[in-house]
Amino acid sequence: MSGNGHDGHPHEELRHESSPWAARIRAVEELLVEKGVFTHEEVRAQIEHTEARTHENGARLVARAWVDPEFKNLLLSDTKAACSELGIDASGPVELAVVENTERVHNLIVCTLCSCYPRPILGRPPDWYKSFAYRSRAVREPRAVMREFGLELPEGVEVVVHDSTADLRYMVLPARPPGAEGMSEEELAALVTRDSLIGVAIPREPARTQ
């Protein structure tokens, strides 16, 4: 799936000179700099901070939840507090929620209106997440969409689709894969893929030793 989308973060458009937003954003930025609201250096620093976030933050949260039941409860009930415990900056007005996959329920995340995404814990969204094809089909035919990513769920598993909004963003807590017993948090985090945190895939299986 591919396509273009707008997720409410216009600074990304600055990378594309042909964007209709680019000149407008630069003009507003120059005006605010001139008025002393912030400096160009502060803008660049904030952009770099945002760009540095990746799905590895989400993977760390999942790995800790797999080994620590109390932390798992915190992650599901107060995601921002769980982030703070691991030193992940998830501050801001946007709320974050984590939904757990079980033997009977599999969760899938989408934003049908644009491409709202939990950037503090997953970084930038993939292009396919922002595409019209994904945003429209994930709700109507989620199993077909997951099948295209290589995920075939048993018929008895209920698929629950969560629609992110400007005020609330979701992340999936995938099930711990079989054979991952005794692994360290770092090793467990390496099994967690970005796609498994969105719900179109499941974590990697541990490498088998001879």
Active site residues per annotation: 111, 114-116
Give 182's DSSP letter.
T
Q: Give the distance from CA 121 to its chain's centroid.
A: 6
Residue 85 one-letter amino acid? E
| Cross-strand partners of 107 | 160
Q: Which of 139, 138, 194, 132 is nearest to 4 (CA)?
A: 132
User: Scanning the structure block, which residue is given the tokens 């969105």?
Assistant: 198
Distance CA 77, CA 98 (A): 8
